[in-house]
Amino acid sequence: MKKTLLLFLLLLSSTISFCQNFSKEWVSDSLFLKPESALFDSSERIVYISNINGEYLAKDRNGFISKIKTNGEIDSLKWVEGLDSPQGLGLYKNKLYVADISRVVQINTNTAKIEKVFVVEGAKFFNDIASDSNGDIYTSDCFGNKIYKIANGKIKVWLDSNFISNPNGLLCTKEDLLMLNMKDKTAYAINKLTKKHRSIFSGIDNLDGIVSDGANGFFVSGAWQGQIFHVDSDGNKKLIIDLGKEKIITADIEYISKEELLIIPTLDKTIIGYKWTK
C-alpha cells in the first residue's frame, strides 16, 4: 500500500512539474499576417507557418506560407504565396499539404512550387490536416461536418457522421485519427480501419490544435481564450499556459519533443515559442 501511494505521489509530482515548467523562450518579429498553423519539418529543421492575411472565407489569393527557424528567426516570410485562407498543415516526405477553404494545396518543399490542388466543390471550410505514416492525408471540413481523405492521388469523403460537429484539429496515431469537435467541446479517437469512435476528453472551449507531447499525452489549444492544456493518456486535462489576460489567441500549435519547444501561432502578427524548463 505504501509503495502504491509513493508511486502515485511521484507520478503526480512529475505531472505537476511537467505542466508548470513552460516558460516563454522567444517571440518572433511582428511581420506575420494572421498566422494560424505551425508544423515542424524535421528533415529541414524548419517550421512552416500558414498566414491567412485576410478574411477567413475570402478567396483573395492573399494567403501565404512562411518558414521560421526553431529559435523564432524568420527564414522566409513569404516562401509560398497565392493561397486564399491557408489553415492547417500536413507533411509527408517532401510534400506539404495546406487546407485552403474548399481545396487542399500540395507544395513541393524542395522547390517551393505548388504541384497539385485537390478541389472539392461541396466543401465549406477545410480547417486542419493530419498526415499518416503511409502517406494518407486527412482534412477536417469544419462547417461541412465531414472528414476527407487524400489517398492514391484522389480526395474523397472519409467520414460523414452525426457525432461530427464543427471538427477542427486532427492528429494521426498508429491506429486512430484524433479529432477535435469545437461544437461539443469533445475530442474523439476514430479507428482508421473500422471508423468506430470513442471520446477521449471533453470540456475545452474553442478546441483548435492537438499535438503529441512526445510520450503518451497531448497538448491541446483552446484558441480564442488563449489557453494551452496538457492531456494525459487517461484524458485528464491540465491548464499549462493561459494567455487570455494578454488577449493572445493560441491557434494551431506545434510541439518539437526533442527540443521540448511548444510553438504557438497567435492569429495576429507573431509566433511565440515556449520551452519546457526542467
Give the tens place of pLDDT for each residue, 34-92.
999 999 999 999 999 999 999 999 999 999 999 999 999 999 999 999 999 999 999 99
| Domains of the chain and CATH, by start | 21-276 (2.120.10.30)
pLDDT tens-digit profile of 155-174?
999 999 999 999 999 999 99
- What pLDDT is attached to residue 276? 84
Whole-angstrom distance, CA of residue 251 vs CA of residue 259: 20
Q: What is the pLDDT of residues 109-147, one digit of tens each?
A: 999 999 999 999 999 999 999 999 999 999 999 999 999
Residue 55 amino acid letter = E
Q: What phi and psi, each to the nearest 5 degrees, are found at residue 265?
A: -75, 140
> How far is residue 180's CA from residue 47's CA, in Å, rounded to a whole number?
23
Tell me the chain's radius of gyration from C-alpha atoms: 18
Q: Which residues lie below 8 Å from residue 256, measured CB to CB, with a gap of 6+?
A: 40, 70, 263
